[in-house]
Amino acid sequence: MEKTIKTIILAAGKGTRMKSETPKVLHKIFNKELLGYVLDAANKTGMTEENFVIVGHCAQEVEKYVQANYKNAKCKLQSPQLGTGHAAFQAYEDLKGFDGDVLILNGDIPLLTSETLLKFIDTHRKNNAALTVMSAVFENPSNYGRIVRDENDNLKAIVEEKDASEEQKKIKEINTGVYLLDWAKVHEAFLNMKADNAQHEYYLTDIVKWTINQGLKAQSYVMENNEESYGINSKKQLAEAAKILKDRVMDKLFAEGVTIVDPDTTYISPETEIDADVIIYPCTYIEGKNKIAKSCKIGPFARLRGDVELGEGVKIGNFVEIKKSKIKAHTNVCHLSYVGDSTLGSNVNIGAGTITANYNHITKEKFQTVIDDNASTGSNSVIVAPAHIGENASIGAGSVISKDVEANALGLTRAPLRIVKDWFSRMKK
């Protein structure tokens, strides 16, 4: 039977260069946390049994996020923080007796994919390695630890730039900080780490050194796309990673038959599924998980905030925001509207400026709005949830609807029109 995998994800750092009170791993791209991207990449391999997230700075905040979103993950506290080797060691007791592979990842590498991890794991196992380091090749490898190989192409050492010779500095293959360990063979390395350095810290590179010194097989696996090794340490790098992720999504959607009129001003999350013949107009922002059926038209200046499902031929137009809603086929939400926590039927027409008022700011509760097939709302309508608008029902322009409107009925709340003649002349006097 194939060995299972457990992961250790290093997420204890403060991220000083982020200049933020938010822990580095909880900064977001497309409204999804960096740590979430890493956990998802590990889980999507289909091989991860359990994830250990090493927390430190703002530990409670990070742990709250993990507990709320990942059932197969638990947090281990690193305090004090004494280096990457010390961080990984926090999961040591939980791994006692484990007879599988341990994958060590950093919590700030959102571009790493499950496909790359699967290739990494496959190479490790086919070569019967005790330890495999994921490496990348850069034309300018400054500030990275260099991968030094022996004559048989096995990993000989990882040399930090400050310790590298002039010849070693010419090496373009660098350590990404991702490791895969045959735990039964390598776990003793954690009991032999030494903090004999200026920082008095324990580093994962010591595990590599121990493995090689024991005569066990250590190797490096070169990732195909070095962008995947990109770690986030500043707000600028966060923005750069978002752009890389955006472009990756665009390429995928173009290949699948989606029309994106202006890729430069369009942002679509990688978790959004879009069918062929959908047209996305400029200045559209789509975040979170969404499903968009064929022949939909979205934008310009539209925002989908996640948990949105659009049926075939739906139109989401100018300055429209949709959140946590299911909209069935051939429904139009074309202008200046907000639809949240709602279910809209087929062939519904939402007039300009319509709002589903779904939030009670006092109780913090959110309620559902349901609008059935063929119903329509006039411009500047407010539907106060919970409310049910029946099939073929109409809502008059400017109405505030706080009760259900039955099928085929007209819902209308509008004060009688009053005209005061000569108003302008009287005011002028």
Per-residue pLDDT of 364-404, as tens digits, reads 889 999 999 999 999 999 999 999 999 999 999 999 999 99
288-333, pLDDT tens digit by residue?
999 999 999 999 999 999 999 999 999 999 999 999 999 999 999 9
Q: Check: CB of residue 159 under 8 Å from CB of residue 143.
A: no
**Do 289 and 396 share a domain, yes or no?**
yes
Band the pLDDT of 267: cuts 50, 70, 90.
Answer: very high
**Do 261 and 164 share a domain, yes or no?**
no
CA distances for 388 relative to 25, 192, 338, 380, angstroms: 41, 66, 17, 18
Q: Check: CB of residue 175 under 8 Å from CB of residue 135.
A: yes
**Do 251 and 390 share a domain, yes or no?**
yes
131-188, pLDDT tens digit by residue?
999 999 999 988 889 999 888 888 888 988 888 888 899 999 999 999 999 999 999 9
Q: What is the pLDDT of residue 426?
A: 87
**Do 178 and 132 share a domain, yes or no?**
yes
Q: Check: CB of residue 180 under 8 Å from CB of residue 102.
A: yes
Q: Is the pLDDT of residue 3 over 80?
A: no
Q: Which of 229, 261, 280 is the last residue of a domain?
A: 229
User: Considering only CA atoms, which of 37, 30, 42, 38 is closest in space to residue 6?
Assistant: 42
**Do 220 and 275 share a domain, yes or no?**
no
The mean of the pLDDT values for the chain is 95
Percentage of the residues of the chain whose pLDDT score is greater than 90: 85
Catalytic residue among 124, 200, 335, 388: 335
**Do 318 and 346 share a domain, yes or no?**
yes
Q: What is the pLDDT of residue 164?
A: 86
Q: Which of 229, 260, 290 is the last residue of a domain?
A: 229
Q: What's the mean pLDDT in 51-72?
A: 97
Question: CA 378: distance to chain centroid?
Answer: 37
Q: What is the pLDDT of residue 162?
A: 83
Q: Is residue 424 part of a domain?
A: no
Q: Which of 175, 210, 229 is the last residue of a domain?
A: 229
Known catalytic residue at 335: yes
Domain count along the chain: 2
Q: Is residue 246 part of a domain?
A: yes
**Do 88 and 200 share a domain, yes or no?**
yes
Q: Is residue 170 part of a domain?
A: yes
Band the pLDDT of 195: cuts 50, 70, 90.
Answer: confident
> How do 146-149 and 32-33 pair as beta strands?
unpaired
**Do 247 and 337 share a domain, yes or no?**
yes
Task: In the chain, count H helices and then E strands.
Answer: 8, 37
Q: Is the pLDDT of residue 1 over 60?
A: no
CATH code: domain of residue 91: 3.90.550.10
Band the pLDDT of 130: cuts 50, 70, 90.
Answer: very high
128: left (phi over 0), alpha (psi -120 to 50) or beta: left
Q: Is residue 129 part of a domain?
A: yes
CA distances for 392 relative to 77, 376, 377, angstroms: 58, 7, 11
Long-range interactions of 334-338: CB distance < 8 A, separation 24+: none
Q: Which residue has the tokens 């260099």?
A: 146
Q: Is residue 416 part of a domain?
A: no
Q: Is residue 358 part of a domain?
A: yes
User: Considering only CA atoms, which of 386, 371, 381, 376 is closest in space to residue 350?
Assistant: 376
**Do 297 and 170 share a domain, yes or no?**
no
Contacts for 378 with CB less than 8 Å, ≥ 6 apart:
351, 394, 395, 396, 397, 398, 399
CA atoms within 13 A on the CB side of 89: 22
CATH code: domain of residue 352: 2.160.10.10
What interhelical angle do 34-43 and 59-69 show, nearest 10? 40
**Do 92 and 219 share a domain, yes or no?**
yes
**Do 268 and 406 share a domain, yes or no?**
yes
Q: Is the pLDDT of residue 33 over 90?
A: yes
Q: What is the pLDDT of residue 141?
A: 87
Q: Is residue 429 part of a domain?
A: no
Q: Is residue 268 part of a domain?
A: yes
Secondary structure of residue 263 in the 3-state scheme: helix
**Do 221 and 292 share a domain, yes or no?**
no
Q: What's the mean pLDDT in 190-200?
A: 85
Instruction: Write out the residue range of the structural domain in which residue 21 sits.
Output: 5-229
Secondary structure of residue 83 in the 3-state scheme: coil
C-alpha–C-alpha distance, residues 73 and 119, integer Å: 23
- pTM attached to this predicted model: 0.91
